[in-house]
Structure 1
Amino acid sequence: MKINNLSKRAAIILAVLLTPFFMMSCNQNSSNPKEIAAQKIDSLFNSLYNEGEPGGSVMIMKGDDVFFAKSYGIADMETNAPIDANTFFNIASVSKQFTAMAILKLHQEGKLSLEDNIKKYFPEFKGEFFERIQIKHLLSQCSGLPDNRPRDDRHFVLTATDMQSIEFFKDLEEINFEPGTNYEYQNPTFQLCYAIIEKVSGQSFEEYMKQNIFDPSGMTETVYFEAERNIPRMSHGYIPEDSTNAWKQYDYMEESFFATKADGGIYTSINEFVKWEKALQDNLIICDSLKQIAHSPITPVSGSTFSSYQNRPYTSYGYGWFIEEKPGMPRKVYHTGDNGGYQIYAGRFPEKKVLVLVFENRNDHSRWKMVEQLDAIVKEAGLLE
């Protein structure tokens, strides 16, 4: 598939962003807090990546201004192509916020309600509990639905569409908890959103997302995963070999990789994602009041008996975003993504208009330690004032 040319929207920003390696110039002995912070960020990522290995692309912005932008490492070990700000990564579960935004847009237009029950859209589902599960429960990870896809079926995992994945709900006999009463992070709930978007809009999911989410945001090159799709400038995900520590390209047929779209199928670049941030700031897709609801803590994560995040305090889930309200820090809205050797982090401090992006094609280090260090450095630099 050929990808269209970059939108010229927000030309002032892109003139800076399209430079593959840009970084605030720093005097090594500078006493300027921002220059010192930029040095610390560069040192952090130089400590994580060795030359000639997979790496990542990093972008930190304050409003329309680029504070730090630099890429490290190799996108494709066979061709030795370097990573830059235009390199494409599978952003995995960071894709969920785009699906959530599509649902919210349809809600704003009166084409559906967040309080619609799921039975309305899937009358073939037999469980009576589907009448108590609402669309808002799908978006906020509190539906109670289990992930009952056959993870040991490699062909299914690689090839199953979103619609095929939700077939497993048809004869579901029980849910894990009453909708709205607990938190459990699941992917198939967003595949239900995929089907709802198609049913309500009358378009294919990809067509709807392109026309109503990506194109209005200027993300004209962003695409969804297809096994046979050729994506120019695409990185490959890598994992370290257990015995030799050499880097092995992720084998989709041998490892765990889900090919569904709504929960984690987007391929995009740092430069493309910055346009998404601009669209969110300018309320190009939905109104500000609805965006604020999406970015509000809806489902508490900490302490959930079903949550792998129960040890992350101050955390809740909104509509497609995690919300962190930590003492001494402004509210943070973020999401992470892991799939096929890719490790993605997209964090926003919306009141401060600060964006922190780290797209990696390796997953061999602690993301949370890295994020905590970045947050501390960003605060030291005065960006959160």
Structure 2
Amino acid sequence: MKMITLLTSCLLLLTTYSSMARQATDRATQQMDSLFAAYNTTTPGVAIAVVKDGQTIFQKGYGTANLEYGIPITPSTVFQSASVSKQFTAFAIYLLEKQGKISMEDDIRRYFPELPDYEKPVRIRHLLAHTGGIKDEWAFLTIAGWQEEDVITTDQILRLLARQKELNFTPGTTFGYSNTGYTLLAELIHRVSGLSFSAYTKKYIFEPLGMVNTQFYDDYHKIIKNRAYSYEKANGVYERRELIFSNVGPTSLYTTAEDMTRWAANFTTPKVGDAALIKAFNTISLLDNNKPVIYAISANDTLYHSKGQVSWRYRGLNVYSHGGHVAGYRAWLFRVPEQNFAIVALSNDEHYDILNTGKQIVGFYLKDKLNEAPGNTADAATPLKDTTADYKTNLNELAGEYYSEELDTKYKIAVSNDTLTMHHTRLKDIVLNRKGEYAFSGINTFPFDIAFIKDGKAITAFSISNFGVKNVRFTRIGGGTFKRTASNTSAKK
């Protein structure tokens, strides 16, 4: 009788627990549906997946993968994941090291003899941590007159990189985000393994994990089934954003929310790599002085870099995450190792708010694990400085043609309606805003600073810097006063 009573009690507890778990799951699903209610058959959208203890507990698509044909987004819709690609590239490097084929201390010129002989070696571990000082490819491509919708290949990037005679900084001394470093890592795997980077990752990562709809896209001619196109609003109407480059390593991972759950689960129960490899992979990167590599500092936390991931704390949780953004694609992988928890978000909407939406999803599932949200610690707005000054330099003195040997490109500096402009044959004219006697700023995809260099009484050159390129020199090859009409002059956005 006692045994029957005990069994009955156990069954009741199991039934109650199962019912409570089902109710919690249903509540989270309702919250998800409410969060993404704005996505429908007339909008792009997002695919979401949630993993707990190695199991997928939620996956669903919202919105439309292709607005031309009205194809809905599902967990098996394929998206470009942009910089989320980097952790796969880094993991592949760790696998190559485990195979005994490389050392993290190797000088990269061992594999890339075409690169200049820098003053101090750039090592593989420097590329992984963004501490190599290598100029960022998107930064120097835009300065060279390239645009995101151009055909851009790894070979083109490597040829331009070989012309870069100087680094942004001494390797191992600081953090400087460099997509180029991950292009080099992918090409290194190709040169060492004898397989294309796409084939290597397929053989050693995607196939073992069952990621059947995932690939590194190394040929823009290839057809990808179930691919979502990306969109951005212009004047309130969604427009398609083109993306036809085939540069792999820092980007170009095409994957699905469904496949990414298998990648997230691998951190809990490794099928690719082992516990020791994953521990090393998750360890925060170090500078040469053994101080941690700082990715960014916010009002509430310091964010550290760890091989294609960012390590930080969110409301008491130790998390690893990384976002991605290219054309109109948005991607995010968020992991909480101590809770065996992960969120995957893949979107084809330029306006999808990755971070804030992701934090809400964390709240749906880990509400009881979160500390109280911090208050608003944003700094007060800084008043704009008065830029009106009595500059002595006449703008016409700066006008002329300037050439960069490193980028093999030319700009014409002109004066239009008392405003200095930059002209390139492939770009809209760029308005330069004055910051000092010889200092200006502008926007060419990315904000940049430009400083004119005077030798004696004549302007002989200018140097240009943006987020990923420092002090690229353009030598003056022609002088004279260049004027352009106002109708041809606009800031590139």
Same fold (TM over 0.5): yes
In the alignment, which residue of structure 1 is the partner of 2:174? Answer: 182
For residues 253-264 of structure 1, what are the structure 2 equivalents within 5 Å? 258-264=245-251
Q: Once structures 1 and 2 are overlaid, which stretch shifts more, 188-197 or 285-294?
A: 285-294
Q: Distance in 1 between matches of 2:148 and 2:228?
A: 24
Which runs of 5 or more structure 1 residues have no equivalent in the other structure? 1-25, 304-309
Where does residue 223 of structure 2 map in the other structure?
230
- SS, match of residue 158 in structure 1: coil
Provide the identity percentage.
27
Are residues 66 and 156 of structure 1, via their aligned partners in 2, closer, same or farther at CA, if it must alter by over 3 Å?
closer
> By how many angstroms is 1:97 displaced?
1.1
Which residue of 1 is the match for residue 122 of structure 2? 133
State the match for 2:200 in structure 1. Answer: 208
The 1:258–1:228 alpha-carbon spacing in structure 2 relative to 1, beyond 3 Å, is: closer
Whether 1:328 aligns to 2:316 is yes
> Aligned to 1:74, which of 46, 53, 64?
64
Shift of 1:350: 1.8
One-letter amino acid of the structure 2 residue matched with residue 124 of structure 1: E
1:34 CA displacement: 5.0
Distance 1:346 1:64 in 2: 15
- The answer to whether 1:86 aligns with 2:80 is no
Contact 2:59–2:258, Cα closer than 8 Å, also in 1: no
- Offset at 1:55? 0.6
Distance 1:31 1:156 in 2: 46
- State whether structure 2 residue 294 is matched by structure 1 residue 300: yes
Query: 1:311 offset after TM fit, Å?
Result: 6.7
Contact kept in structure 2, 1:352 and 1:383, CA below 8 Å: no
* 1:139 aligned partner, one-letter code: L
For residues 301 and 327 of structure 1, the distance between their equivalents in structure 2, rounded to whole angstroms, comes to 19
Q: Write the distance in 1 (CA, Å) between the matches of 2:101 and 2:242.
A: 41
- Whole-angstrom CA distance in 1 between matches of 2:45 and 2:240: 13
Equivalent residue, structure 1, for 2:33: 42
- In our comparison, the structure showing a higher alpha carbon Rg is 2
> Would you say the 8 A contact 2:59–2:257 is kept in 1?
no
Q: State how far apart, in whole Å, the 2-side matches of 1:372 and 1:133 are.
A: 37
Question: Closer, same or farther in 2 for the Cα pair 1:157/1:39, shift >3 Å?
Answer: closer
Single out whichever of 83-92 and 292-301 deviates more from structure 2.
292-301
The 3-state SS of whatever aligns with 2:141 is: coil
> In 2, Cα distance between the equivalents of 1:160 and 1:363?
21
For the 8 Å contact 2:150–2:245, the answer to whether it is kept is: yes
Written as runs of structure 1 = structure 2, the 5 A alignment for 1:1-385 is: 35-46=26-37, 48-129=38-119, 131-148=120-137, 149-151=140-142, 153-154=145-146, 158-225=150-217, 226-241=219-234, 243=235, 245-252=236-243, 258-298=245-285, 299-303=293-297, 313-326=301-314, 328-329=316-317, 331-380=318-367
Matches of 1:98 and 1:137, distance apart in 2 = 17
Secondary structure of residue in 1 paired with 2:366: helix
Q: Which has the higher strand share?
A: 2
Q: Which amino acid aligns with 1:233?
A: N
In structure 1, give the amino acid aligned to 2:308. G
Q: Deviations over 1:214-233 (max 9, x none)?
A: 11111123123332211111
* CA–CA distance in structure 2, aligned partners of residues 83 and 348 of structure 1: 23
RMSD between aligned residues: 2.6
In structure 2, list runs of 5 or more residues that go unmatched. Answer: 1-18, 286-292, 372-493
How far off its partner does 1:101 sit?
1.0
2:50/2:261 contact within 8 Å kept: no
**Counterpart code for 2:220:** A
Shift of 1:297: 2.1
Tell me the distance in 2 between the aligned counterparts of 1:260 and 1:124. Answer: 19
Partner SS state of residue 332, structure 2: strand
Deviation at 1:164, TM superposition (A): 2.5
Which digits, 9 at most, give the CA deviation of each residue in 1:63-97, with x for residues without a partner?
A: 24333322111111111010001111011111111
Give aligned pairs, total.
342
| Closer/same/farther in 2, CA of residues 336 and 78 from structure 1, 3 Å limit | same
Instruction: Report if the CA contact (8 A) 2:79-2:329 is conserved.
Output: yes
Q: 1:341 to 1:287 in 2, by over 3 A?
A: same
* Mapped partners of 1:278, 1:55: distance in 2: 24
- Identify if the C-alpha distance between structure 1 residues 381 and 81 changes in structure 2 by more than 3 Å, giving closer, same or farther: farther
Change (3 A) 1:381 1:270: farther
- Note closer, same or farther for the CA distance 1:360–1:185 as it changes in structure 2 (3 Å cut): same
Aligned pair in 2 of structure 1 residues 275, 263: CA closer, same or farther (>3 Å)? same
Q: Which amino acid aligns with 1:174?
A: E
Q: Which amino acid aligns with 1:347?
A: F
Deviates more, 1:184-193 or 1:155-164: 155-164
TM-score, structure 2 normalization? 0.64
| Aligned CA distance change for structure 1 residues 290 and 281 (closer, same or farther; 3 Å) | same
Contact 1:162/1:194 (CA < 8 Å) preserved in 2?
Answer: no
Deviating more after overlay: 88-97 vs 179-188? 179-188
Match of 2:398 in 1: none
Amino acid at match of 1:239: E
